[in-house]
Chain A
Amino acid sequence: MSSFWISCLSQFEKELPPQQFNTWIRPLRLEGEDDFANGLRLYAPNGFILKWVKERYLSRIEELGSAYFSAPVSVTLMLGERSAAPAPVLAAAKPMAATPAPVPASAHSPYAAPASLTPEKPVEKTLPHYEKTRLIPGFTFENLIVGKANDLARAASVQVAMNPGGAAYNPMFIYGGAGLGKTHLIHAIGNRIVEQNPGKVVRYVHAEDYYSDVVRAYQTKSFDAFKRYYRSLDVLLLDDVQFFNGKNRTQEEFFFVFNALIESRKQIVISCDTYPKDISGLEDRLITRFDWGLTVQIEPPEIEMRVAILKKKAELENVALDDEVAFYIAKHLRSNVRELEGALKKVLAFASFHGRKIDLELAKEALKDLIGAVNRQITVENIQKTVADYFKIKVADLYSKKRTRQIARPRQVAMWLAKNLTSQSYPAIGEAFGGRDHTTVLHAVRTIETLRTKDNELNHDVHVLLQVLKG
């Protein structure tokens, strides 16, 4: 690395918060220092970084350059990594490469959030492989939790991976709701095939990315290359085919790819969020073809499986999870594995922040916002509605000029709630209650505060309303 750039980096490291420095400055690479009179070239790995640096940091870099070389220096920003040393360019995207001894985040900070629960170690190990196959190495059969919900789908997937292209399983169609592990399963098929047959050309593609490829081929008039590429694959793993909905040109292209691959006994695996016949906006000729091979379903996991998933994921984080805690989380998050994972991360982060042991009480506390809470956005309007319902009066009475006790007290309660549950100002609250003065609101708030200590019934009413509103 050039000496000017090193000094420039260290200057920015001093001037910027670390997250800004790591995101925007570290990925840059400078060239042309030997011949600085003709200008320096600064390479950004992509357009976003280029634009950002140009707007915010370019003049500072030129300033530092002029000071360093004692002569005016111009810096041109360019796209691309150029030449050798890719390390500094990818440093920000390759977190592991930047730190010589990677320590799990939780180890060096007492409040660290847990690292990703998926065992994947992206990027450094995988980039060349990933570019070719787009397979995420962490999604394997070995770390897929099996239960009644997915054992058939898993068994069929293993068969396909052992014998790709076999007529009985081609195409293989996996369907199930969001967050049940379809993507995991089809990556696992791809990873197993690559592992056992390194020569096979395997490609994972999300339906949206396939669509982008079609659009790009269309724009650059390169349909021949597009067709050649997709027909050259040994295994095509197409994720989320429901995204083809209404995209006619994409469906047509896929129809031909599909036929060509099946004819030459190449394996196709397709995932979808519904049964083939229920996919909307898809041509019939595709739907019938999806049913040619084997169709398997993944169901939402039953409670035992959810518990097993949680325990396995916790184990990957070197945390022992009590049954009691695992059951608590599993009982409350039923519908999909993703949110189960999110809830576990929440519990681990909470425990780590408070330096507490993971037990049932802690799990309840950590998840109180996520589980079962109503958490509606609290506005003055829904406070008024709730209060009016509770006291069996009309919402309009709350805005009205009426000052009978029967109306005035609920109005004061509603004002007190508005003050305590929203960020509205006193004048804004007054305005929302029929254009009253802010002193009226202030008086109401003080009255309710005093009354709550003396009047048990009113205190009870306020308590119930708070519960209803806060969920």
Chain B
Amino acid sequence: MTDLLFYIFAAMALASGFLVVANPLSRNPVTSAMFLVLTIVSLAGLFVLLHAYFLAAIQILVYAGAVMVLFLFVIMLLDLKEEERQRIKLGALISGVVAVVGLGFVLVQTVWATKPGQGAQPLLEGETVALGRALFNFEGMSPRYLLPFELVGLLLLVAMVGAMVLSKKEVK
């Protein structure tokens, strides 16, 4: 049953990821944003299959909720009409596809030749309590992730102020 769910979520993530990048029917950025939401939701499903429940919830809340709303706001604010004029250059198409297919081939071959998961048992449970303990607990005498956690909070404040300064109208 979980195997079937894995294949369903993986196929959904890959198909909608492809439609984000190259939608044959529509060049509208809003369509791409909607398919990106679908990709993110299927990735959250994969996180649940990996027993990372807290991260699945965060993925939905932060990505599908906050980040994508920001994207849609900006797309509609900028009113991108001239999207139709873009043509993909042949040189870029060939070099890009060759580079990406080559990279993907090498990586997939490496994974399936070495089989890093051989014999490993999937044991870890990533509930909220376990993740909170890992973030905030002292191990020995060192607070392992406490300083990075505070720094990330500071980073969010800096980003918020920076975004406001960058996007406000210039007063002469």
Verify that A and B bind, or say they do not.
no
Residues of A in contact with B (beta carbons under 8 Å apart): none
